[in-house]
Amino acid sequence: MEPYLLKVHCAKLTHFCLTRDTHELKVDQAEWVREKTEMVYALLEETPPDGVAFVQTVKHILKVNLYALNL
């Protein structure tokens, strides 16, 4: 189940990168993505040996990539 949720997050990023000027998620779709993203981060934080640090690193990488893509 975890790999699927990670793919969902990647799909979210890809969606915005490819179609951000012409398409938007509906409110319920955006809420679903937000909930699943939070769930993935919570599961990863529980992963030994240092899940919390891993999640912080992932969030930082995503933030840098989104900044570089000017989103």
pLDDT tens for the 71 residues of the chain, in order: 455 556 556 656 555 555 555 678 899 999 999 999 999 999 999 999 999 999 999 999 989 988 887 75
**pLDDT value, residue 61:** 92
Does the pTM surpass 0.85? The reply is no
Its sign, for the CA torsion 3, 32, 46, 14, is: positive
Report the number of distinct structural domains present in the chain.
Answer: 1
> What is the rounded CA–CA span in Å between residue 46 and residue 69?
30
Residue span of the structural domain in which 17 resides: 2-68
With residues binned 3-state (H G I as helix, E B as strand, rest as coil), the percentages for the chain, rounded to 5, are 75, 0, 25
Report the half-sphere exposure of 5 (CA within 13 A, side-chain side). 15
